[in-house]
């Protein structure tokens, strides 16, 4: 449907929140109308007064990026916080699902930028809490990253203490709820290589086969985070590691057979 700007402006002036939100976006984007950050800011503030996530979230972004205003982390944090605290049975400026997605993304931004990176204040515990809430609201990659942050085989992120038990918990949760390929791949490697856990060839095989069976588009499209070439690269790396793990397992089994055979021979001689 073609955009009717005159109608949008008229409805916005008459107080229709959805039209205010859409018009603010048009002023911010500047594609169909002359870009005007100040008007976008003004309209989104009007929307945010009604406890609408689409207003507070976009204000947080504008203050964080310095769009038409001086970059202000405190104001950005304030509006992200307003967004996640919005609890209504019905939203007027966007759909209910749209509001939940904005709340989800606000939790992610607070966790990553404000707490992990310390742009508001450095606090890994709060960063983890907001990532967990983002995951609860559907941000599967936040759940995966929590696994990655605790995974002993991965580099240190934000100074978060490694804990394989927690990494496995997060990976399993993401895999169960979203059938997320990178989570299955990392679980296979953890058990296959014995990274922070006892080697378990049965569990390695279970998660390796599961990883290779996942073909859904979720892994690289839903939140526009994972790109196809990244996923293909990860699949290739997993196959290479699987060959090494299986070779290592065969050597272990051979050693076991030799030890058992030698032990039996010695026993018979005695």
From CA 204, how far away is CA 49, in angstroms rounded?
A: 52
Q: Quick one: three-class SS letters along 151-212?
A: CCCCCCCCCCCCCHHHHHHHHHHHHHHHCCHHHHHHHHHHHHHCCCCCCCHHHHHHHHHHHH
Average pLDDT rounded to a whole number, residues 158-172: 96
pLDDT in tens, 86-98: 999 999 999 999 9
Q: What is the mean pLDDT of the chain?
A: 87
Domain containing 122: what range? 1-138
Q: Which of 254, 232, 244 is nearest to 189 (CA)?
A: 244
Same domain, 35 and 52: yes
pLDDT band, very low/low/confident/very high, at 55 (cuts 50, 70, 90): very high
Same domain, 64 and 176: no
From CA 40, how far away is CA 20, in angstroms rounded?
A: 9
> What's the pLDDT at 237?
81
- The structure tokens listed for 177 are 């709820």
Same domain, 60 and 147: no
Count of domains for the chain: 2
Same domain, 113 and 149: no
From CA 232, how far away is CA 219, in angstroms rounded?
A: 11
- Output DSSP code: residue 92: S
Residue at a domain's end among 138, 169, 189: 138
Same domain, 171 and 40: no
pLDDT beyond 80 at 269: no
pLDDT beyond 90 at 54: yes
Residue at a domain's end among 138, 161, 182: 138
- The structure tokens listed for 70 are 């001086």
SS3 47: helix
pLDDT in tens, 122-163: 999 999 999 999 999 999 889 999 999 999 988 999 999 999
pLDDT beyond 50 at 110: yes
CATH of the domain at 219: 1.25.40
Residue at a domain's end among 104, 138, 172: 138
From CA 30, how far away is CA 11, in angstroms rounded?
A: 19
> What's the pLDDT at 167?
97
Q: Which residue's structure tokens are 């299955």? A: 184
């Amino acid at each position: 449907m073609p955009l009717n700007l005159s109608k949008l402006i008229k409805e916005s002036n008459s107080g229709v929140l959805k039209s205010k939100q859409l018009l603010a976006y048009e002023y911010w984007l500047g594609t169909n109308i002359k870009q005007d950050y100040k008007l976008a800011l003004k309209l989104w503030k009007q929307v945010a007064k009604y406890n609408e996530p689409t207003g507070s979230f976009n204000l947080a972004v504008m203050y964080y990026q310095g769009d038409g205003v001086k970059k202000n982390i405190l104001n950005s944090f304030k509006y992200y916080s307003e967004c996640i605290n919005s609890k209504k049975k019905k939203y007027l400026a966007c759909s209910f699902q749209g509001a939940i997605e904005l709340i989800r993304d606000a939790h992610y931004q607070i966790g990553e930028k404000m707490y992990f990176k310390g742009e508001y204040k450095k606090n890994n515990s709060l960063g983890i809490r907001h990532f967990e809430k983002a995951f609860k609201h559907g941000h599967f990659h936040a759940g995966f990253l929590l696994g990655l942050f605790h995974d002993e085989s991965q580099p240190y992120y934000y100074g978060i203490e490694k804990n394989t038990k927690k990494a496995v918990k997060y990976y399993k949760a993401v895999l169960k709820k979203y059938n997320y390929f990178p989570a299955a791949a990392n679980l296979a490697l953890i058990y296959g290589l014995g990274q922070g856990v006892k080697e378990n060839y049965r569990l390695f095989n279970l998660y390796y086969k599961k990883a290779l069976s996942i073909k859904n588009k979720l892994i690289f499209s839903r939140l526009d985070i994972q790109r196809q070439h990244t996923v293909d690269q990860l699949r290739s790396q997993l196959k290479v590691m699987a060959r090494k793990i299986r070779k290592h397992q065969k050597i272990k089994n051979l050693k076991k057979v030799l030890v058992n055979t030698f032990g039996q021979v010695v026993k018979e001689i005695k």
